[in-house]
Amino acid sequence: MSFMGTHEYLAPEITRGDCHGSFVDWWIFGIFLYELLTGETPFKGNKNRETLFNVVGQPLKFLQGSISFV
């Protein structure tokens, strides 16, 4: 059994192994938009395990002053 995919984009439902539907695509889209605006994904950890923990257990925090439209 193996995992393929990018840990930083996984929805919490997928990370926990719960049932999920197409709404997880909106989660991924939101993560993608966040990364476009800030230059990094919101739940990234030092290692994949930490990233998955952050997706499931940490609230989303927006970086102050990190978005520039110049």
pLDDT in tens, 15-56: 888 888 888 899 999 999 989 888 889 999 999 999 999 999
Q: What is the mean pLDDT of residues 55-59?
A: 90
Distance in angstroms (rounded) separating the CA atoms of residues 44 and 42: 6
Model pTM greater than 0.85?
Answer: no
- Alpha carbons 47 and 21: distance in angstroms, whole number: 27
The pLDDT value given to residue 55: 92
Are 14 and 20 spatial neighbours (Cβ–Cβ below 8 Å)? yes
Query: What ranges in 1-70 are assigned the alpha helix state H?
Result: 12-16, 24-38, 48-57
Task: Find the angle CA(32)-CA(34)-CA(35) to the nearest 5 degrees.
Answer: 65
